[in-house]
């Protein structure tokens, strides 16, 4: 078996948290389900968010000054399906969920368990994804939650193949 296949098999057994990342640039809003994300600094609070270059969200995120990273509860499958299985190439996801404008106009999803709004510091090509380094400028926890994990959504059909 090739190294790449073995890596795929190993990471398929992990259960990392799934988030929905939203962005806005001008009049264009974008958002997708993301598994490739991690906190990478405590003081200041920073995260790395990796967006596939194939996603419609990619170009919006690269033009955005801020992103919103939404934390999902294991019951938030509807939001996960909307943002993970639909693409803005075919549908306006923001007519199909409730949201409010946050800092810089970034969409904040009303039914997420909580969110971090973060300023984009820089982005780097890291392979077939672009890594955005972001720093929290606002955050809210709306309710206690148990994370939606990769194992719960691994059979979803992504709107765009990675
Ligand atoms: C389990 C799962 C994990 C995903 N992880 C990521 C990810 O880490 N980064 C990413 O850019 N897209 C990821 N996606 C894919 C996007 O959420 C999906 O292709 C979405 O439909 C893209 O929408 P857009 O074209 O409107 O941006 C994932 C999808 C699923 C189902």
Cα of 45 from ligand 1 centre, angstroms: 24
Q: What is the pLDDT of residue 153?
A: 98
Ligand 1 in reach of 67 Cβ (< 6 A): no
Q: List, for residues 15-69, the tens digit of each pLDDT value.
A: 999 999 999 999 999 999 999 999 999 999 999 999 999 999 999 999 999 999 9
The pTM score is 0.98
Query: pLDDT-derived band of residue 161, with 50, 70 and 90 as boundaries?
Result: confident
Ligand 1 in reach of 57 Cβ (< 6 A): yes
Q: What is the pLDDT of residue 43?
A: 98
Q: What is the pLDDT of residue 13?
A: 97
Q: What is the pLDDT of residue 26?
A: 95
Ligand 1 in reach of 156 Cβ (< 6 A): yes
What gap in Å lies between CA 127 and CA 138, rounded to an integer? 29
pLDDT over 90 (residue 14)? yes
What gap in Å lies between CA 104 and CA 60, rounded to an integer? 13
Q: List, for residues 107-137, the tens digit of each pLDDT value.
A: 999 999 999 999 999 999 999 999 999 999 9
Per-residue DSSP letters for 19-37?
A: EEEEEEETTEEEEEEE--E
What gap in Å lies between CA 16 and CA 36, rounded to an integer? 8
Cα of 95 from ligand 1 centre, angstroms: 19
What gap in Å lies between CA 66 and CA 63, rounded to an integer? 9
Q: Please give the number of the atom of ligand 1 that sits closest to the Cα of 50.
A: 9
Query: pLDDT-derived band of residue 162, with 50, 70 and 90 as boundaries?
Result: confident
Q: Please give the number of the atom of ligand 1 that sits closest to the Cα of 87.
A: 26
Q: Coil, strand, or helix at residue 132?
A: strand
Ligand 1 in reach of 32 Cβ (< 6 A): yes
Q: What is the pLDDT of residue 1?
A: 85
Cα of 2 from ligand 1 centre, angstroms: 25
Ligand 1 in reach of 159 Cβ (< 6 A): yes
């Amino acid at each position: 078996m090739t190294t790449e296949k073995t890596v795929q098999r190993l990471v398929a057994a992990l259960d990392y948290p799934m988030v929905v990342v939203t962005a806005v640039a001008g009049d264009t809003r974008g958002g997708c389900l993301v598994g490739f994300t991690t906190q990478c600094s405590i003081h200041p609070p920073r995260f790395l968010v990796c967006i596939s270059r194939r996603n419609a969200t990619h170009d919006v995120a690269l033009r955005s000054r801020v992103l919103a990273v939404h934390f999902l509860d294991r019951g938030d499958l509807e939001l996960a399906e909307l943002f993970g299985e639909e693409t803005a190439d075919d549908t306006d996801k923001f007519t199909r969920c409730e949201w409010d404008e946050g800092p810089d106009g970034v969409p904040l999803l009303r039914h997420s368990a909580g969110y971090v709004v973060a300023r984009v510091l820089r982005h780097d090509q890291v392979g077939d994804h672009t890594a955005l380094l972001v720093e929290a400028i606002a955050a809210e926890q709306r309710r206690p939650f148990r994370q939606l994990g990769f194992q719960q959504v691994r059979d979803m059909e992504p709107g765009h193949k990675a």
